[in-house]
Amino acid sequence: MPTPPRPRSVRPGRPPSRQQDERPRWGMRLATTLSVLVLGAGGVGHAVVTSLDGGIGRVDPFRDMKNRPQGSLGTNILLVGTDGRDKITPEEKQKYRLGGAPCHCTDTIMIVHVSADRDRVSVVSLPRDSYAEVPEHTDEATGHNHPRHPVKLNAAYAEGGPSLTVRTVEGMTGLKIDHYLEVDFTSFMKTVDVVGGVQICTARPMKDSYTGLDLGAGTHELNGGEALQYVRSRHADGSSDLGRMQRQQRFLAALIEKATSNGVLLNPVKFREVASSLLSSVRADEGFGVEEMLGFTAAMKGFTPSSSDFTTVPLGQLGFAVKGVGSTVKWDEVKAKKLFQLLHDDKPLAPHAPPKPTPQPATKDAKPPRAPGSIVEVAPEQIRVQVYNGTRTDGLGRRVDDGLRATGFKTTGSPRASTNLDMRRTLIEYDPRWDRSAESLALALPGSELRPVKGLGATMKVTAGADFKDVVPVRAEEQPQGDFGTVTGDRVVCP
């Protein structure tokens, strides 16, 4: 695979000053990641994107930096999301609850590690309230020298912009940052609309009065504004910022799935629309331009959600009080060190499944594709099922049993004949104590009737009716794995 060009030397210059605001910031952390992951998945030609380089704003976050960490295998990109509501229409502000004045402040920070062979990407979220110590620095506007002192991580940007942010993150992680990207969430909304929206699956209803998010359980096609509500929401469950970061990671995987599965980025015209939307709101170091992005593009043509893994830096203490700073989040020093060492050594954070094979053209005898599945609250592997054939069709019970077992349900493997062989509608009988499991089973058997039966016990009873067509694959929300709570992208998109 071709190796992308090394960063060009940067020219001296002062990063633009930014007015700051102390109010809570919106939860936009994904737009920055799109420039690397979505553009890298495109595989289009040089002529389509070289004219876009002028749309990238430039900063110099590495100027005069000394005593930096040793370089890593692969490429480390620091991604900063900012508040860009000044570019959103009044109608959009009202519809998507985006009131207030823009401040161009950082929300939270991500590290994206692209492997040396360009076949894998690891995304690590760094909570904005992480306890940090900014190094000694001089305020360029006033010339005042500031000694090393504790802050919340997002305050590094407020004090010293991109340069101080990079220095702080390098000091905390021991990783050398190769590139810097900064994007506001205006481009995020536009990009989602350009690719035609994305699909999100939820196991339970999600509602947040602060953002206006209101999703029922099931599968949803989100446009740009709705996607912004989804990734901003902090009050949809009890997990606050941590839950929001997980949803943003899930959404990013879904966007990659959409962009790489329907040819959006292989169409030069559509690619230009996506790239223009992204790059119009990007600020990057001078060494990271279109030429460098093309290097990633050429090497990442086979990139899919299974090529990515997502995690949040391991946390040790929530609500760690610091005088003059407030409540912060302390990292688990031992686990965090291990995590960043894996990135430094270019190792995956979780086992990666092989990419799905490229779909082949349909043949005369080919089976039609199965209907899209759902995310369920209770994993199929935890649900026991006894299947009955409620019709006079030979083998129907076996088809249902095999279908349920294939999607993970613990069937008995021995379907039986029902006493009623004239069932028109598939029936699920369940003990009311296992109602959540019954709802998960019903999603795998669309159109079936749910009937509670007291005292039935933990084993569900499915009686196949004449309406049965197929079992729809379902799975529970992926549980984070290992010391770092890592999930791979192919396990967080809709089944």
Rounded Cα distance, 307 and 441, in Å: 30
Residue 442's Cβ-side half-sphere holds a number of Cα atoms within 13 Å equal to 19
Q: Identify which has the larger pLDDT, 452 or 482.
A: 452
Question: Using CB atoms within 10 A of its CB, is residue 23 exposed (0-12), middle (13-18) or buried (19+)?
Answer: exposed
Give pLDDT, residue 310: 83
CATH of the domain at 276: 3.40.630.190
Strand-pair partners of 180: 78
Question: Do 158 and 295 fall within a single domain?
Answer: yes
> 484 lies in a domain?
no
Among 45-49, 252-256, 300-304, 474-478, which is the least confidently predicted range?
A: 45-49
Give pLDDT, residue 333: 93
Strand-pair partners of 358: none
pLDDT-derived band at 390 (thresholds 50, 70, 90) equals very high
What's the token pair of residue 206? 């999600």
Q: Could you tell me what percentage of the chain is helix, strand and coil, using 3-state DSSP and rounding each to the nearest 5?
A: 30, 25, 45
Residue 151 DSSP SS3: strand
Question: Do 242 and 214 fall within a single domain?
Answer: yes
The average pLDDT across 275-294 equals: 72
> 464 lies in a domain?
yes
**DSSP state, residue 73:** S
The average pLDDT across 60-78 equals: 90
Phi-psi region for residue 341, left (φ > 0), alpha (ψ -120 to 50) or beta?
A: alpha
161 CA to centre of own chain: 26
Among 87-96, 248-257, 460-469, which is the least confidently predicted range?
A: 87-96
Whether residue 146 contacts residue 139, with contact meaning beta carbons closer than 8 Å, is answered with yes
pLDDT tops 70 at residue 466: yes
Query: Which DSSP string corresponds to 418-487?
Result: -S----SS-EEEE-GGGHHHHHHHHHHSTTPEEEE-TT--SEEEEEE-TT---PPPEEEPPPPBTTTTBE
Question: Do 435 and 339 fall within a single domain?
Answer: no
Give pLDDT, residue 237: 58
- 127, 128, 132, 135: CA torsion to nearest 10: 130
Among 82-91, 114-123, 428-437, which is the least confidently predicted range?
A: 82-91
**What residues have CB less than 8 Å from 260, skipping those under 6 apart?**
41, 303, 304, 305
Give pLDDT, residue 92: 64
Sign of CA dihedral 66, 71, 75, 76: negative
Number of domains in the chain: 2
Angle between helix axes 31-40 and 185-194 (nearest 10 degrees) is 40
Question: Do 175 and 219 fall within a single domain?
Answer: yes
> 4 lies in a domain?
no
pLDDT tops 50 at residue 6: no
pLDDT tops 60 at residue 5: no
Question: Do 259 and 395 fall within a single domain?
Answer: no
Among 115-129, 356-370, 427-441, 474-488, which is the least confidently predicted range?
A: 356-370
Question: Do 339 and 409 fall within a single domain?
Answer: no
Question: Using CB atoms within 10 A of its CB, is residue 479 exposed (0-12), middle (13-18) or buried (19+)?
Answer: exposed
Measured between alpha carbons, how far apart are the two ends of the chain, in Å? 31
> 40 lies in a domain?
yes
Question: Do 318 and 190 fall within a single domain?
Answer: yes
Among 87-91, 207-211, 434-438, 449-453, which is the least confidently predicted range?
A: 87-91
pLDDT tops 80 at residue 35: no
Give pLDDT, residue 442: 93
The average pLDDT across 99-108 equals: 59
pLDDT tops 50 at residue 149: yes
Question: Do 234 and 283 fall within a single domain?
Answer: yes
CATH of the domain at 440: 3.30.70
Q: Which of 388, 406, 390, 408 minimizes the C-alpha distance to 398?
A: 388
What is the tens place of the pLDDT at every residue in 370-381?
444 577 878 888
> 370 lies in a domain?
no
Question: Do 160 and 299 fall within a single domain?
Answer: yes
Question: Do 280 and 381 fall within a single domain?
Answer: no
Question: Do 177 and 122 fall within a single domain?
Answer: yes
pLDDT tops 90 at residue 13: no
What is the tens place of the pLDDT at every residue in 287-340?
887 667 656 655 555 556 667 788 889 988 888 999 999 999 999 999 999 999
The average pLDDT across 50-64 equals: 76
pLDDT-derived band at 490 (thresholds 50, 70, 90) equals low
Give pLDDT, residue 350: 72
Q: What is the mean pLDDT of the chain?
A: 76
The average pLDDT across 379-395 equals: 93
- H runs (alpha helix) in 183-332: 185-194, 224-232, 240-261, 268-279, 290-299
pLDDT tops 90 at residue 51: no
> 77 lies in a domain?
yes
Q: Identify which has the larger pLDDT, 269 or 128.
A: 128
What's the token pair of residue 142? 């006033």
pLDDT-derived band at 173 (thresholds 50, 70, 90) equals very high
> 125 lies in a domain?
yes
Question: Using CB atoms within 10 A of its CB, is residue 19 exposed (0-12), middle (13-18) or buried (19+)?
Answer: exposed
Question: Do 350 and 398 fall within a single domain?
Answer: no
Cα angle 412-415-417, degrees, rounded to a multiple of 5: 145
pLDDT tops 80 at residue 77: yes
The average pLDDT across 109-115 equals: 89
> 12 lies in a domain?
no
- 339, 345, 346, 352: CA torsion to nearest 10: -60
Question: Range of 463's domain?
Answer: 376-476
Among 40-44, 53-57, 372-376, 479-483, which is the least confidently predicted range?
A: 40-44
pLDDT tops 80 at residue 222: yes
Give pLDDT, residue 11: 36
Q: Which of 167, 173, 182, 157 minimizes the C-alpha distance to 28?
A: 182
The average pLDDT across 363-386 equals: 67
pLDDT tops 60 at residue 397: yes
Give pLDDT, residue 427: 97
